[in-house]
Amino acid sequence: MIKFKNVWKIYKLDGEIEYQALKNINLEIKEKEFVSIIGPSGSGKSTLMHLIGLLDKPTKGEILIDGKNVAKFSDDELSTLRNEFVGFVFQQFNLIPKLTVLENILLPTIYARKKLTYDPRKKALDLIKKFGLSGKEYSYPNKISGGQQQRVAILRALIMEPKLILADEPTGNLDSKTGIEIMNLLKKLNEKEGITIVVVTHEADIAAYGKRIIKIKDGEIVRN
């Protein structure tokens, strides 16, 4: 599904100094896996997440998605692939305050470049009912709890039927009980729906939900 071959990510600081954020990364994430990426602050895990999510390109090496080298994609092709292939869940929820729960969930469908084979509104309402948010369709983000906001973010990630959900510190702004609920929801999506899940975290108890744990330190994978 996703394959990294000798991937490096190097940033230039002050025009001359090179910072090696990732060093010779070789990694494969298979379809329907639940993978956790763990590492301390500054380890390179956020850079790795950006590459997995097609938000950035490597300095050297290849990233293959279903066997296709993304380096050869135009910006438009990459944007289309990102919109259809991956759904993002962030620590800060990243909901639009002026949009309702329903409108936030529907947002990715507005930018869809492919013809959808389903009615987005009906699908969104079905998801809202399925994941316990009935009655909140027309509420605004500031009127619902943090756990409910994260559920909305997950449904927004699901609306385009992605192959992959990439979750960056998904429990970081939640209390322990709500965090467990969110992780169990991601686990259920993996086991029941067959969606590939990649969770990026610095917390060992959150990483433990993954069936495989990738540990990164100083830009290198030390356990895979």
In whole numbers, what is the pLDDT of the chain averaged over residues?
93
How many distinct structural domains can be found in the chain? 1
Return the DSSP state at 101: H
Give the number of other Cβ atoms within 10 Å of residue 110's Cβ: 8
Question: Is residue 3 in a domain?
Answer: no
Q: What is the pLDDT of residue 105?
A: 97
Domain of 173: which CATH number? 3.40.50.300
Rounded to an integer, what is the distance from CA 23 to the centroid of its chain?
22
At 50, the pLDDT band (50, 70, 90 cuts) reads: very high
Q: What is the pLDDT of residue 35?
A: 97
Q: What is the pLDDT of residue 21?
A: 95
Question: Is residue 44 in a domain?
Answer: yes
Q: How far apart are the first and last CA of the chain?
A: 16
Question: Is residue 22 in a domain?
Answer: no
CB burial of residue 84 (10 Å; 0-12, 13-18, 19+) = middle
At 49, the pLDDT band (50, 70, 90 cuts) reads: very high
Position 113 pLDDT exceeds 80? no
Return the DSSP state at 210: S
Question: Is residue 83 in a domain?
Answer: yes
Question: Is residue 17 in a domain?
Answer: no
Tell me the per-residue pLDDT of 136-157, one tens digit each, with 9 for 90 and over: 999 999 999 999 999 999 999 9
Question: Is residue 2 in a domain?
Answer: no
Residue 53, classed as helix, strand or coil, is coil
Host domain of residue 181: 29-59+71-223
| Nearest one of 201, 164, 159, 158 to 183, comparing CA atoms | 201
Q: Which two tokens stand for residue 35?
A: 């993978």
Residues 140, 149: Cα–Cα separation, whole Å: 10
Give the number of other Cβ atoms within 10 Å of residue 61's Cβ: 17
| Nearest one of 76, 74, 29, 67 to 48, comparing CA atoms | 29
Tell me the per-residue pLDDT of 157-205, one tens digit each, with 9 for 90 and over: 999 999 999 999 999 999 999 999 999 999 999 999 999 999 999 999 9
At 101, the pLDDT band (50, 70, 90 cuts) reads: very high
% of the chain residues with pLDDT over 70: 100
Phi, psi of 43 (to 5 degrees): -75, -20
Question: Is residue 18 in a domain?
Answer: no
* Mean per-residue pLDDT, 35-63: 94
